[in-house]
Amino acid sequence: MKFFADTAEIEDIKDLAAIGLIDGVTTNPSLIMKSGRDFIEVTKEICGIVAGPVSAEVVALDHAGMMVEAEKLRKIADNVCIKVPLTLDGLKTCKALTSDGTMVNVTLCFSANQALLAAKAGATFVSPFVGRHDDNGFDGMQLISDIRMIYDNYDFETEILVASVRHGVHVLEAAKIGADVMTAPPSVIKGLVKHVLTDKGIEGFLADWAKTGQSI
C-alpha cells in the first residue's frame, strides 16, 4: 500500500521522505490555509521533494472554471495530480484531464456509487473520506470494502486512496482490505511506529548492555 502525507508542511514532508515513508502528498484548501503559504509556491516546493503524485485541489465549482485552474496547476510540475470534487462538473473535468494524460484525484467521496462514477470518468485516484464518514455515523471501512469489491468486479484501474485517516486502525484496516493508497497526517504516519513492547525491549537491552561495561 502506498502512503501519501496529507499535509502542506514542508518540514514534515522532508522528514517522512528522508525515512522513505511516503510515496506522494495530498493537499486541500484547508491544509494550504493552515500552512500559511502561497498555494502555487508551496505546491512547487512539495513537487520537488517527492517524486510521486502531489494532489492540488481546484476551488471552482463549474467545469470551465475547474479547467482554467487545472491548467495553471498542472504547469507547476509533472507530478501534480489535479484534485476535483465528486460532482458532475468535477467528473467532467476528470474525464477531460485524464484523457489528456493528467493525473486526477476525485475527492470528497462518501458512497460506493460515487466511487463507481469516478472510475467511469477515468479517475487516477478516488478519495473516500473514512474519518468524516465515521464522524457522521457511517462505517468508513465498509465503504472501502465495497469500493474494493466493485472495482475488482470490473477491473477498474482507479486507485482507492483512503483519506481522512485519523489513526492506526484506519491504516491497518485499509491495508487488510487492499486499498491502493492511504493518505494521513504526518503524526498518524509516524505514530504507526509506536509500540509499548518495543520501548520496553530497548529499555531492557540498554540496561543489560550497561552492565557489560562495553562500548561499540
Pick 53 or 204: Cβ nearer ligand G3P: 53
Burial status of residue 70 (CB atoms within 10 A of its CB: 0-12, 13-18, 19 or more): buried
Q: What are the residues facing 6 on neighbouring strands?
A: 26
Quick check: 129 binds ligand G3P (CB under 6 A)? yes
Closest CB 95 distance from ligand G3P, rounded Å? 22
Q: Which of 37, 95, 120, 132 binds ligand G3P (CB under 6 A)?
A: 132
DSSP H stretches of helix in 50-182: 63-74, 88-99, 112-120, 130-135, 140-154, 168-177
- Which triple of cell numbers denotes residue 197? 513492547
The residues, ordered by sequence, that sit 6+ positions from 64 with a Cβ below 8 Å of its Cβ are none
| CB of 30 vs ligand G3P, minimal distance in Å | 7
- SS3 of residue 176 by DSSP: helix
C-alpha cell at 179: 486499498
Q: What are phi and psi of 61, to 5 degrees?
A: -105, -15
Q: Looking at 2, 44, 75, 83, which residue is catalytic? A: 83
Query: Is 83 assigned a catalytic role?
Result: yes
Site for ligand G3P in 26-55 (CB under 6 A): 26, 28
Stretch 169-198: interaction string toward ligand G3P, x if CB under 6 A: --------------x---------------
**Contact letters for ligand G3P, residues 4-23 (x by CB under 6 A):** --x-----------------
List residues binding ligand G3P (CB under 6 A).
6, 26, 28, 129, 131-132, 163-164, 183
